[in-house]
Chains A and B, each alone.
Chain A
Amino acid sequence: MVDQAKVEELKRIAHRIRCDIIWALAHAQSGHPGGSLSATDICVALYFYALKHDPKACQWEGRDRVIFSKGHVSPLIFSLLAESGYIPREELRTFRKFGSRLQGHPNVECPGIEVGTGSLGQGLSIAVGLALGLRMDGKPNRVYCIMGDGENQEGSTWEAIMSAGHYKLDNLCVILDNNGLQIDGWVEDVMGLQPLADKWRAFRWHVIEIDGHDMAQCMEALDQAKQVKGQPTVIIAKTVKGKGVSWMENMAEWHGKAPKQDQCREALKELACPAEYFDF
């Protein structure tokens, strides 16, 4: 059974992260809200429950590694890094601005980022090599890769899935943010992927399917993934794109469009964000 107090704590963090995402977008007036909000809960469970890391020593040898294949969710990534203490929260004001360490898609200039990502279909391959390299040295570090569902349309993703299954990478865990939408619309309409879980299973992966907004399920899935031996694990987290802002939910248009400033105020109000978030 999961620790209920921890669940409540993580929910509070997830709420702050959602506020930070909208706040960063309000300052940048550009960026990707939809997938950032859908992946928030599972990523909070990862960063503040499952992950071994030390934000004060981001190159610590014993750290688990996180590869954000869906690099466009940078508002979420930078909010996670700020909440963890890798970067000052104030820096989120500079997101996507000239000279900032917080680029439109994350790169190695930002502490806590292992590798620059954002060109979809590439992250899992990096994670595969990293997991193989760590395993060669007998290191216990785990590798997490955060992916979108649309990315499964990339051929290179299936090359990576195939190789991770082949090499039995049980130190590798994919978190699949299965919000069902991509820029052009519903994934199933654009280029259908179902039965998605069966496809991963067929490539020799252990599949866990959860409600990606149920914090207890997110924690349990991450716990379970650590126990799986002899094969990599994918957590298919069923999520809602734009989760938390009613008029963004399940709307493909909020994939890569930043809300205007008055819309950001509306979103912050709906999220019941504290007064200090309204400073733009």
Chain B
Amino acid sequence: MSEIKWKATRDGYGDALVEMGAQDERIVVLGADLTDSTRALWFAQKYPDRFFDFGIAEQNMLNAAAGFALAGKIPWVSTYGVFVAGRAWDQIRTTTCYSNLNVKIGGAHGGISVGPDGATHQALEDVATMRVLPNMTVIVPADYYETKKAVIWACKHVGPVYVRFGREPVPVVTKLDDPFIMGKANLINDGTDVTIINNGPVLWECMKAVHTLREKGISARLANMHTVKPIDRETIAKAARETGAIVTVEEHQVMGGFGSAVAEVVVQTCPVPMRFIGIQDRFGESGTPEELFEEFGLTARHIVAAVEDVLKAKRG
């Protein structure tokens, strides 16, 4: 654990765009004045003829992406998740998703870990607004490698995809050769008492929680579920059946997001007690990622407490 490498998920996005840009000339990248911070800049520097800045005008950019898709291109729209999934939601819904166009959306600066910019720039609702859209695939990778793999997968998939990633460096916990199968979770740790299902870069906190739980004599299964939609029903139902309790973890509002998606499967397959780690119906605020994780209840300590609570409910 001492040799953990830290790297931002947005870097995985930028690297994947550059890599895929070399392989497929149809890929174009669209930006809205946030070219550097979304890492779209790396593509823009390498392929200036295939990068288009639309200025601070996200609604136009999203439908222009739809137009590029109609022209046979594979457009990647790059801006902050909060702007793309909120301000341009109607465009994504009514143009891209309704006509099932091949538009890829990179939602940067996801979650509360954006830090000092505060509530206006912290995307905490984007997973909810994207996953309700028919035809849309929603992926929230956990670390650098997973982000890269998600973007590479999305380039090859035909249809709308939303990939959400963060700003700050996070531990690289998956390996280059770990499988990335869209819609399929990766088991990080097996266990029998409870299942923790993680979504996104909070995976590191989940791993620390599993370690603490083990010391307390609790056997926790940990599944890393990068794809919110389509959700991995099989892994969820199996977890409910075999461990009898589930805790979901996400850097997003607990209402309507990943935990809700898991709960929808649980109640339809094998109802068991659940707890939800995430933002509890509040707006974010300024602070360091560490301070905010503590304040908003996203650390390993909070996950351990949620597990202990759900185990009480499980035992009745």
Interface residues of A (CB under 8 A from B): 65, 107-108, 114-119, 121-122, 125-134, 136-137, 155-156, 159-160, 162-163, 166-167
Contact = CB atoms under 8 A, between A and B. Distances in A.
Given A136-B49, A156-B59, A159-B60, A119 B90 contact: yes
Interface in B148-180: none
Interface residues of B, number: 31
Contacts of B101: 115
A131 B68 CA distance: 8
Interface in B50-68: 50, 52, 54-55, 57, 59-68
A123 B303 CA distance: 46
Report whether over half of chain A's contact residues are helix, strand or loop; otherwise say mixed. Answer: helix
Contact of A125 (B49, B52, B67, B100): B67
Given A126-B67, A128-B60, A129-B69, 12 more contacts: A65-B70, A108-B99, A122-B95, A125-B66, A125-B67, A126-B70, A126-B95, A129-B75, A156-B60, A159-B60, A162-B60, A163-B64
A131 B67 contact: yes
A268 B146 CA distance: 63
B4 interface: no
B57 A129 contact: no
Interface string B17-28: 000000000001
A130 B69 CA distance: 8
A125 B70 contact: no
Contacts of A119: 90, 94-95
B98 A126 contact: no
11 contacts: A115-B95, A116-B94, A116-B99, A117-B95, A121-B59, A125-B59, A125-B61, A129-B67, A132-B52, A133-B72, A136-B50
Nearest to B52: A132
The 9 closest A-B pairs by CB, nearest first: A129-B67, A133-B71, A125-B63, A129-B64, A159-B60, A130-B67, A159-B57, A156-B59, A119-B94
Nearest to B100: A108
B57 A163 contact: yes
B90 A115 contact: no
